[in-house]
Amino acid sequence: MELQRSKWSGWPSSFPLPSSLGEAGGISRNRLISEITLTWRCVKLKLVELPMGLRRYVKDISRELGEEIIFLGDPVYGSCHLYEEIADFLGLEEIIHYSHTPFYTPNKRVVFKVNQLSYSEDVFSIIEEEIRSESGKVGVITNAQFLKLAYEVKKRFKDRVELKRGRLARGLGQVLGCDFSAARVESRKLIFLGDGLFHPIGARISTGKEVLSLNPVTCEQINVEKEAERFLKMRFHSIFRAKRSNSFGVILGAMRGQFRMRDFQMSVRLLQEEGKEVFRIVSKVISPEIIEEFGLDCYVICACPRIVDEQPRFKKPLITPRELEIAFGRRDEYVMDEISEVEW
Amino acid sequence: MELQRSKWSGWPSSFPLPSSLGEAGGISRNRLISEITLTWRCVKLKLVELPMGLRRYVKDISRELGEEIIFLGDPVYGSCHLYEEIADFLGLEEIIHYSHTPFYTPNKRVVFKVNQLSYSEDVFSIIEEEIRSESGKVGVITNAQFLKLAYEVKKRFKDRVELKRGRLARGLGQVLGCDFSAARVESRKLIFLGDGLFHPIGARISTGKEVLSLNPVTCEQINVEKEAERFLKMRFHSIFRAKRSNSFGVILGAMRGQFRMRDFQMSVRLLQEEGKEVFRIVSKVISPEIIEEFGLDCYVICACPRIVDEQPRFKKPLITPRELEIAFGRRDEYVMDEISEVEW
Bridge partners for B70 per DSSP: B47
For residue A250, report the phi and psi dihedrals to the nearest 5 degrees: -105, 120
- Is the Cβ pair A293, B52 closer than 8 Å? yes
Contacts of A29 in chain B (CB under 8 A): 341-344
For residues B295 and B248, what is the distance between their CA atoms, to the nearest angstrom? 10
The reply to whether A86 and A146 lie within a common domain is no
For residues A259 and A247, what is the distance between their CA atoms, to the nearest angstrom? 22
Give percent of chain A above pLDDT 90: 79
Residue B25 has pLDDT above 60, yes or no: no
The reply to whether A271 and A322 lie within a common domain is yes
Q: Does B335 touch chain A (CB under 8 A)?
A: yes
The Cα of B80 is separated from the nearest Cα of chain A by a number of Å equal to: 15
Contacts of B285 in chain A (CB under 8 A): 73-75, 285
- Is the Cβ pair A272, B9 closer than 8 Å? yes
Q: Quick one: pLDDT at residue A34?
A: 55
Whether B210 and B187 have beta carbons less than 8 Å apart is answered as: no
* Band of residue A25 on the pLDDT scale cut at 50, 70, 90: very low
The Cα of B96 is separated from the nearest Cα of chain A by a number of Å equal to: 14
Q: What is the CATH number of the domain that holds A76?
A: 3.40.50.11840
Residue B110 has pLDDT above 60, yes or no: yes
Q: What is the CATH number of the domain that holds A172?
A: 3.40.50.11850
Residue B122 has pLDDT above 60, yes or no: yes
Segment B267-290 shows an average pLDDT of 95
- Is the Cβ pair B340, A284 closer than 8 Å? no
Whether B279 and B250 have beta carbons less than 8 Å apart is answered as: yes
**What contacts B142, CB < 8 A, 6 or more positions away?**
B149, B150, B171, B173, B174, B175, B192, B193, B194
Picking from B76, B262, B300, B316 by the largest number of A CB atoms within 10 A of its own CB, the best residue to mutate is B262
Closest CA to B29 of A242, A307, A27, A257: A257
* Band of residue A18 on the pLDDT scale cut at 50, 70, 90: very low
- Is the Cβ pair A344, B86 closer than 8 Å? no
For residues B140 and B183, what is the distance between their CA atoms, to the nearest angstrom? 8
* Band of residue B40 on the pLDDT scale cut at 50, 70, 90: low
Count of structural domains within chain A: 3
Q: What is the CATH number of the domain that holds A259?
A: 3.40.50.11860
The Cα of B41 is separated from the nearest Cα of chain A by a number of Å equal to: 14
**What contacts A19, CB < 8 A, 6 or more positions away?**
A25
Contacts of A65 in chain B (CB under 8 A): none
- Is the Cβ pair A70, B340 closer than 8 Å? no
Q: Quick one: pLDDT at residue A343?
A: 82
Q: Quick one: pLDDT at residue B93?
A: 87
Residues 199-218 of B with CB under 8 A from A: none
- Is the Cβ pair B272, A7 closer than 8 Å? yes
Q: Quick one: pLDDT at residue B300?
A: 98
How does pLDDT run across B127-181, given as a tens digit for each residue? 999 999 999 999 999 999 999 999 999 999 999 999 999 999 989 999 999 999 9
The reply to whether A142 and A96 lie within a common domain is no
Residue where a domain terminates, one of B62, B96, B113: B113
The reply to whether A126 and A219 lie within a common domain is yes
Whether A331 and A321 have beta carbons less than 8 Å apart is answered as: no
Residues 305-334 of A with CB under 8 A from B: 321-322, 325
Segment B225-247 shows an average pLDDT of 97
Segment A158-186 shows an average pLDDT of 95
Picking from B29, B282, B340 by the largest number of A CB atoms within 10 A of its own CB, the best residue to mutate is B282
Residue B12 has pLDDT above 90, yes or no: no
Q: Does B246 touch chain A (CB under 8 A)?
A: no
Segment B41-64 shows an average pLDDT of 88
Domain membership flag for residue B217: yes
Q: Quick one: pLDDT at residue A90?
A: 86
The Cα of B6 is separated from the nearest Cα of chain A by a number of Å equal to: 9
Contacts of B249 in chain A (CB under 8 A): 71, 73
Residue B42 has pLDDT above 80, yes or no: no
Picking from B270, B278, B284, B301 by the largest number of A CB atoms within 10 A of its own CB, the best residue to mutate is B284
Domain membership flag for residue B290: yes
For residues B4 and B19, what is the distance between their CA atoms, to the nearest angstrom? 20
* Band of residue A40 on the pLDDT scale cut at 50, 70, 90: low
- Is the Cβ pair B55, A293 closer than 8 Å? yes
- Mean pLDDT of all residues in chain B? 88
- The three-state DSSP-derived secondary structure of chain A is CCCCCCCCCCCCCCCCCCCCCCCCCCCCHHHHHHHHHHHHHHCCCEEEECCHHHHHHHHHHHHHHCCCEEEECCCCCCCCCCCHHHHHHHCCCEEEEECCCCCCCCCCEEEEECCCCCCCCHHHHHHHHHHHCCCCCEEEEECHHHHHHHHHHHHHHHHHEECCECCCCCCECECECCECHHHCCCCCEEEEECCCCHHHHHHHHHHCCEEEEECCCCCCEEECHHHHHHHHHHHHHHHHHHHCCCEEEEEEECCCCCCCHHHHHHHHHHHHHCCCEEEEEEECCCCHHHHHHHCCCEEEEECCHHHHHHHHHCCCCEECHHHHHHHCCCCCCCCCCCCCCCCC
* Band of residue A119 on the pLDDT scale cut at 50, 70, 90: very high
For residue B338, the chain A residue with the least C-alpha distance is A22
Q: Does B232 touch chain A (CB under 8 A)?
A: no
Closest CA to A1 of B305, B66, A12: A12
How does pLDDT run across A49-85, given as a tens digit for each residue? 999 889 999 999 999 998 889 999 999 999 999 999 8
Domain membership flag for residue B4: no
pLDDT-wise least confident of A73-77, A309-313, B33-37 = B33-37
Whether B144 and B116 have beta carbons less than 8 Å apart is answered as: no
- The burial class, CB within 10 Å (0-12 / 13-18 / 19+), for B129 is exposed
For residues A241 and A280, what is the distance between their CA atoms, to the nearest angstrom? 20
Domain membership flag for residue B32: no
For residue B47, the chain A residue with the least C-alpha distance is A282
Segment B59-64 shows an average pLDDT of 94
Domain membership flag for residue B14: no
What letters, b where the CB count within 10 A reaches 16 and e where it falls short, cover A77-112?
ebbbbbbebbbebbbbebbbbbbbbbbbeeeeebeb
Region for residue A283 given its phi and psi (left: phi exceeds 0; alpha: psi -120 to 50; beta: otherwise): beta
Contacts of A338 in chain B (CB under 8 A): 22
Residue A1 has pLDDT above 50, yes or no: no
The reply to whether B169 and B211 lie within a common domain is yes
Whether B49 and B98 have beta carbons less than 8 Å apart is answered as: yes
The reply to whether B134 and B98 lie within a common domain is no
For residues A175 and A201, what is the distance between their CA atoms, to the nearest angstrom? 11
Q: Quick one: pLDDT at residue B34?
A: 54
Torsion of CA B109, B114, B115, B119, to 10 degrees: -160
Whether B104 and B112 have beta carbons less than 8 Å apart is answered as: no
Whether A8 and A43 have beta carbons less than 8 Å apart is answered as: no
Residue where a domain terminates, one of A91, A113, A135: A113
- Is the Cβ pair A17, B268 closer than 8 Å? no
For residue B268, the chain A residue with the least C-alpha distance is A9
Whether B275 and B325 have beta carbons less than 8 Å apart is answered as: no
CB nearest to B251's CB, from A21, A73, A279: A73
- Is the Cβ pair A70, B280 closer than 8 Å? yes
For residues B317 and A105, what is the distance between their CA atoms, to the nearest angstrom? 39
Domain membership flag for residue A1: no
Size of interface A-B (CB pairs under 8 A): 191
Residue B329: CB atoms within 10 Å: 9
Whether A40 and B298 have beta carbons less than 8 Å apart is answered as: no
Segment A221-233 shows an average pLDDT of 94
For residue B142, report the phi and psi dihedrals to the nearest 5 degrees: -160, 175
CB nearest to A282's CB, from B90, B262, B285: B90
Closest CA to B45 of A260, A263, A282, A285: A282
Domain membership flag for residue B343: no
Domain extent, residue A97, equals 44-113
Residue A116: CB atoms within 10 Å: 12
Segment B59-80 shows an average pLDDT of 93
Q: Whats the size of chain A, residue-wise?
A: 344
For residue A337, the chain B residue with the least C-alpha distance is B22
Segment B259-266 shows an average pLDDT of 93
CB nearest to A72's CB, from B272, B282, B289: B282
For residues B2 and A326, what is the distance between their CA atoms, to the nearest angstrom? 34
For residues B52 and A294, what is the distance between their CA atoms, to the nearest angstrom? 8
Domain membership flag for residue B344: no
Whether A265 and A294 have beta carbons less than 8 Å apart is answered as: no
Picking from A83, A293, A336 by the largest number of B CB atoms within 10 A of its own CB, the best residue to mutate is A293
